[in-house]
Amino acid sequence: MTAGRLQTTDQRRRNMAAIRATHSKLEDRITRGIWVKGYRFRKNVKGLYGKPDIVIQKYRVVIFIDSCFWHACPIHGNIPKNNQEFWINKLERNKQRDEEVTKHYQNRNWNILRIWEHEVSRDFAAALERIMNFIDTAKSNRSR
Ligand SMILES: [Zn+2]
């Protein structure tokens, strides 16, 4: 019984690590992609609410690349079989937090973009394009 439980916890830890690794790889591809195109930004800014993945303070741009698992994507979100109640609560809290974060920036006239991890993995070029268009729009609104 105890051994089985430990195994489960261990397996879960490995799954979570794999999810995080995939996500940070996608994030790196995106940030490298826009950097090469000449965009300058800060990454994973801890001083800003919700720790945005990409920040361009000058144009009040924050971009979040949302993990399908942690942000409970309607297409790929799933509840792990073990500890279901824990996960349901946790993922629900994450969703609420995302809404709070989004409102926080909207209320302060920031330009906030949320992009799903699956959009990046499905069509990288399109995701990159979407992000760059978003930044360009924020930039032109700013200088108007
Ligand atoms: Zn998804």
What is the whole-number distance in angstroms between the Cα of residue 5 and the centre of ligand 1? 29
pTM: 0.88
What does the alpha-carbon distance between residue 71 and residue 31 come to, in Å, rounded to a whole number? 20
What is the whole-number distance in angstroms between the Cα of residue 110 and the centre of ligand 1? 25
66 Cβ contact list (under 8 Å, min separation 6) = 73, 98, 114, 115, 116, 117
Q: What is the pLDDT of residues 41-74, one digit of tens each?
A: 999 999 999 999 999 999 999 999 999 999 999 9
Percentage with pLDDT > 70 across the chain: 94
What is the whole-number distance in angstroms between the Cα of residue 42 and the centre of ligand 1? 25
- Strand segments, DSSP code E, in 1-144 are 42-43, 54-56, 61-66, 111-116
Nearest to 48 by CA among 29, 35, 66, 61: 61
Percentage with pLDDT > 90 across the chain: 75
Q: What is the pLDDT of residues 105-130, one digit of tens each?
A: 999 999 999 999 999 999 999 999 99
Amino acid at 13: R
| Per-residue confidence band for 77, with pLDDT thresholds at 50, 70 and 90 | confident
Please, what is the average pLDDT of the chain?
A: 91
What is the whole-number distance in angstroms between the Cα of residue 45 and the centre of ligand 1? 24
